[in-house]
Amino acid sequence: MKKRLYILIAVLYFGFSFGQTSASQHTDLEKQIAESIERSMQETLVQEKLDQELAKKSGQPSYQESLASFTASLPISSNSNVSVDKLIEEAKTWLGVRYVYGGTTRGGIDCSAFTQNVFSTINVSLPRVSSLQAQQGYKVSKTELQKGDLVFFSTSGRGVSHVGIVTEVTDGVASFIHASSSHGVMISKLTDSYWSARYLYGKHIL
């Protein structure tokens, strides 16, 4: 990306100067531009390497790593009532579909394939497994949950192992649709004792 920027600057500069210099000066100008680009690229590479080395010694993420982390934490798409309503409407068409571990169709589906399939209908791509889906968007508290948010649970006691989609929030209580291993695709409330005890956090995706 940076290389392309340097080349573009050089082309614009060279084009502007072309009509104002002699033939011999053109050659000198070309050489100067090429040398300037090369120096700039080398300086950039050295700076990036230095940044990485300093980050390793300090235990802090480098600029590139911080930028990648920040980008990944952003919502995947802009919030839209139309998109959220379409998402919930699609999710509810799956009600009653049986749970099958590793399943990805209406013949049988697991929790993360369910959320992945539903979000794909509004052109939002989610990873296949719940632990990776949990890395999308940004965390919100229970009081900040909205329709279309993902909610994550630890049913195994070893981190994220279940996921659902918030369908509505009434009087501060969120309901969510999910593929339950015991009842298939269903709607539950976060206040249900089983899910309340295993709730980890919610994520804004839209």
Q: Are 9 and 17 contacting, i.e. CB atoms less than 8 angstroms apart?
A: no
Question: Annotated active-site positions, please?
Answer: 111, 162, 178
Give the single-character DSSP code of 77. S
Helix (H) or strand (E) holding 202: strand 199-204
Which residue do the tokens 């950039």 mark? 44
C-alpha dihedral sign at 28, 33, 38, 44: positive
Rounded CA-CA distance 83/104 in Å is 22
